[in-house]
Amino acid sequence: MSEIYSPSHVQELLGIDSHTLRKYATLLEGHEYQIHRNHRGHRGYFDKDITAIRKLIEISKQEDMTLELSAQAVMAAISEENKTEAPTQEEPLHNPPEHKITQIQNNNLDELLDRIEHLEQINMDLIKLLKEKAVREAYLEEKINQIVKYTERSEQLLVENSKMMLEETRQQIAAAHQKKWWKWWK
């Protein structure tokens, strides 16, 4: 049977602190990875466990990789290793974790592209609505200008008619007060 390492020894090997080791172990256990525990519930690490945690650390350091995605990639690599015991020489070796990471990144990229296309469609719809609104506003502004001009013209005509009527009334009053030639003595 292989040797069981204590958490402190694993911390030294990997160069991490106890909290980080515990977090990584808990994360892997959350993905159904079995880490040995003694009768008191304390973890003990085999070589395979140290290798799995080392892979988790390496994968998580890659750009755009979360710990959750890294744990999924490690579990995929472990299950792939368990399925294929020893590849033949004709079969090219491939790195399952990187393939899985690439697949996850491609899926994320496809998702982002779909979101971008959806947002572009929304933007195009909004631009179309804004253009329609601008046309309606221009039409309404033109109608308002026509109404204002009509009102101004009506007011101007009303003022002119009022002035003409006033002048006519003055002339009639002046004519009524004017003395007739036959009434010059009065």
Q: What is the pLDDT of residues 56-70, one digit of tens each?
A: 999 888 888 888 888
The pLDDT profile of the chain, 186 residues, written as one tens digit per residue, is 578 899 999 999 999 999 999 999 999 999 899 999 988 989 999 999 999 999 999 988 888 888 888 888 888 888 888 777 555 444 444 445 666 677 777 788 888 888 898 889 999 999 999 999 999 999 999 999 999 999 999 999 999 999 999 999 998 888 777 766 666 665
Helix (H) or strand (E) holding 145: helix 96-177
- Beta-carbon contacts of residue 37 (< 8 Å; ≥ 6 apart): 43, 44
pLDDT at position 90 is 46
Assign domain 7-84 to its CATH architecture: Orthogonal Bundle (1.10)
The rounded distance, in Å, linking the Cα atoms of 23 and 46 is: 17
Cβ–Cβ < 8 Å for 53, 47: no
C-alpha 72/C-alpha 51 separation (Å) is 15
Domain boundary assignment for the chain: 7-84, 102-177
Q: How far apart are the first and last CA of the chain?
A: 152
| 49, 86, 87, 93 from 90: Cα distances, Å | 30, 12, 8, 9
